[in-house]
A and B are shown apart, each in its own frame.
Chain A
Amino acid sequence: MSQATEFSLSSPDATADLAAQLAVRLLPGDVVLLEGDIGTGKTHFARSLIQHLLPIPEDVPSPTFTLVQTYDTADFEIWHADLYRLTSPDEVVELGLVDAFEDCLCLIEWPDRLADLTPENALLLQFSLGPVEGSRTLRASWSDPKWTARLQGVSNG
């Protein structure tokens, strides 16, 4: 059974705040899928999340051109991937993503490219533009019950 919850985010700062709340609840082996049109804030969310976890501040560039950017925290590695430019799921394997799903924290933009390789225990976040400028609607859904407990207490302000 899948479950879902929705957040209304009034500004980029509210999005960043939600990302920070989620950040501290994540563990290695977690996969977060970020869906949404261009410009809906996927990378902003991922950047905020990563920067909240980095022990030393570091650039978090868009992964569109490099496909994958990796970061080290004290306990695990973070993979931030943008799969838009991939043309086949084989390339997901070549990138080393399937292995990373096991023991890294993975944030995946354009996850539709994963097709059958999409982990069943992933958290899906869907971004869309909100009613006013700067606002966003974020829908979170999952089928793995671990997320029900993990997302307890996460709120949009």
Chain B
Amino acid sequence: MSDQITLLGLESSCDDTAAAVLRGVPGQRAEILSSVVAGQTELHAPFGGVVPEIAARAHAEKLDTCVEEALTEAALSLNDIDAIAVTAGPGLIGGVLSGVMCAKGLALGLGVPLIGVNHLAGHALTPRLTDGVDFPYLMLLVSGGHCQFLIAHGPEEFTRLGGTIDDAPGEAFDKTARLLGLPQPGGPSVEAEARTGDAKRFRFPRPLLDRDGCDMSFSGLKTAILRTRDQLVAEHGGLHVTDRADICAGFQAAVVDVLSEKTRRALGVYLQINPDSPTLAVAGGVAANGAIRAGLETVCADLDVAFTAPPLSLCTDNAAMIAYAGMERFATGGRDDMTLVARPRWPLDQSAPALLGGGRKGAKA
């Protein structure tokens, strides 16, 4: 087909460096020809997947290798690439900058369009890449660094209904693991512990559940766990295996309750716009948690809303989603030039009020 295009996507906005090749007709379905995430397993294994890539230089070096690998896997050469899509933010500036510079060089050298992509748009559009979900759908983006409800109206049009005012749930899982001496990343290890625990023994807080709206707070859970742990240690001289499992189960139950209830409210707002085929899409590493997923599926079933969660490899940071978001922008004429800048902060919905968190009392004089 003549209007089919092939995009190279680059992602280096956080811990990982990635490149991917995607082929499709803009505005229609696309096929991932390759998706490479740099040295994740061998580099991160000893540290449990939490070691960040800080140096811009290291990102730049890895990008070259990733691009080469992605092209080889796709059995293509640079000359087959019709456009370059790159994460231009938000993220750690050094990483974003090296991605943008690499993309500019490639676009200039090949004489092809350059498309800057918002990393969060990449996550938010993934359900369209994997499941062909139609706009408008409700997106719950829930990961180590993010937690927000978005209505996706179009490739660049999102309404934020709410989000966390402090920590993201992924961070809460990691820090719970840290407090209890469980391995990182905390998501899988806390979930595994929780399986044998009694979720009713410790009643942890469900912050903001009593308040209207879709905002969430997970920071207070850390303190509650810290106090419980210290109390158990003071009483028994240590933390028993069952204590630890019970804390994990209680913690996970609190997260499930908050996410489920807030999802119910977000769906209520979303359903008011009468979508043709109501859908909740969940993306981000936390979507891999079985208990959270089951909670969200129950809410969707109650409200007759379809539930979808892209496969984990496309839920965590990757470049295929960036290439796809680039293709969606391409379809609507989105192009950037050599003035494209790296943006450490870049909210998807710039009209939404800031999530203020505790402590700020009204507008400042």
Do A and B bind?
yes
Residues of A within 8 A of B (CB): 12-13, 15-16, 19, 37-41, 43-44, 47-48, 51-52, 54, 57-62, 64-70, 85-87, 91, 94-96, 129, 133
Contacts of B145 in A (CB 8 A): 61-62, 64-66
Whether B226 lies near A37 (C-beta < 8 A) is: yes
Min CB distance, B40 to chain A, in Å?
Answer: 15
Q: Which residues of B contact A96 (CB under 8 A)?
A: 93-94
B360 to chain A: closest CB distance in Å? Answer: 4
User: Contact between A16 and B360 (Cβ–Cβ < 8 Å)?
Assistant: yes
A-B residue pairs in contact (CB < 8 Å), sample of 23: A13-B358, A16-B359, A19-B359, A39-B175, A39-B179, A39-B223, A43-B167, A43-B219, A44-B219, A44-B358, A48-B357, A51-B356, A51-B359, A54-B364, A59-B163, A59-B355, A61-B164, A62-B166, A65-B145, A67-B54, A85-B52, A87-B47, A96-B94
Of chain A, the residue at the smallest CB distance from B57 is A94
**Does B357 contact A44, Cβ atoms closer than 8 Å?**
yes
Cβ–Cβ < 8 Å partners of B354 in chain A: 57-59
Q: Residue-by-residue, is B46-57 near A (CB-CB < 8 Å gives 1, otherwise 0)? A: 010011101110
Complex Cα spacing A86 to B54, Å: 9
A15 contacts which chain B residues (CB < 8 A)? 359
Contacts of B14 in A (CB 8 A): 65-66
Evaluate contact between B178 and A94: CB separation under 8 angstroms: no
Closest to A63 in B: B145
Contact A47 B357, CB 8 Å, known A85-B52, A94-B94: yes
> Which residues of chain A come closer than 8 Å to B54, judged between CB atoms?
67, 86, 91, 94-95
Verify if B335 is at the interface (C-beta below 8 Å from A). no
Complex partner residue of B344 from A51, A70, A133, CB under 8 angstroms: A70
Closest 3 CB pairs of A and B: A16-B359, A39-B222, A65-B145
Q: Does B168 lie at the interface of the complex (its beta carbon under 8 Å from any beta carbon of A)?
A: yes
A39-B359 contact given A57-B353, A85-B51, CB 8 Å threshold: no
Q: 4 other contacts beyond A13-B361, A48-B359, with CB at 8 A cut-off?
A: A48-B358, A59-B355, A68-B93, A70-B344
Q: Which residue of A lies closest to B167 (CB)?
A: A62
The answer to whether the Cβ of B91 comes within 8 Å of any Cβ in the partner chain is yes
CB within 8 Å for A68 and B92 given contacts A47-B357, A51-B356, A52-B360: yes
In the complex, A69 Cα to B92 Cα: how many Å? Answer: 8
B359 touches A65 (CB 8 A): no
Residue of B nearest to A57 (CB): B354
Chain B positions within 8 Å of A58 at CB level: 345, 354
A51–B166 Cα gap in the complex (Å)?
Answer: 13
The DSSP consensus for interface residues of chain B is loop
- Size class of the B contact interface (CB-based, 8 Å): 35 or more
A32 to chain B, nearest CB (A): 16
The closest CB in chain A to the CB of B344 belongs to A70
- B195 close to A (CB within 8 Å): no
- In the bound assembly, the distance between CA atoms of A15 and B358 in angstroms comes to 10
Compute how far the CA of A48 lies from the CA of B163 in the bound complex, rounded to whole angstroms. Answer: 18
Q: Which of A37, A47, A86, A95 contacts B359 (CB 8 A)?
A: A47
CA distance A39 to B224 in the complex (A): 8
Q: A48 with B219: in contact, given A43-B166, A85-B52, A129-B227 (CB under 8 Å)?
A: no
Question: Which of A38, A40, A67, A91 has the largest number of chain B CB atoms within 10 A?
Answer: A38
User: B171 at the A/B interface (Cβ < 8 Å)?
Assistant: yes
> Which residue of chain B is the closest to A52 with respect to CB atoms?
B364
How far apart are B82's CB and chain A's nearest CB, in angstroms? 32
Considering the chains assembled together, what is the distance between the CA atoms of A11 and B80 in angstroms? 61
Shortest Cβ distance from A58 into chain B, in angstroms?
5
- Taken together as a complex, chains A and B put the C-alpha atoms of A85 and B175 apart, in Å, by 12
Please give me the residue from chain B that is nearest to A17 by CB atom: B359
Chain A residues with CB under 8 A of B168: 61-62, 65
Q: Which of A57, A59, A87, A94 contacts B55, CB < 8 Å?
A: A94
Which residues of B have CB within 8 Å of A133? 227
Name the residue of chain A whose CB is nearest to the CB of B363.
A57
Chain B minimum-CB-distance residue to A45: B359
In the complex, A39→B204 CA distance in Å?
A: 14
B225 at the interface (CB under 8 A from A): yes
The CA-CA distance from A129 to B223 in the complex, in Å, is: 9
Smallest distance from the beta carbon of B5 to chain A beta carbons, Å? 32
Which residues 207-238 in B have Cβ within 8 Å of A in the complex? Answer: 219, 222-227, 230
Residue of A nearest to B362 (CB): A57
* Residues of A with C-beta under 8 A to B230: 129
Distance (whole angstroms) from the CB of B114 to the closest CB of chain A: 24
Residues from chain B with Cβ under 8 Å of A95 in the complex: 54, 94
B250 interface hit (Cβ, 8 Å): no
Complex CA gap A62/B364 in Å reads 22
Residues of B82-131 at the interface with A, using a CB-CB cut-off of 8 Å, are 91-94
Q: For the complex, give the distance between the alpha carbons of A59 and B347 in Å.
A: 9
Contacts of B2-27 to chain A: CB distance below 8 A: 14-15
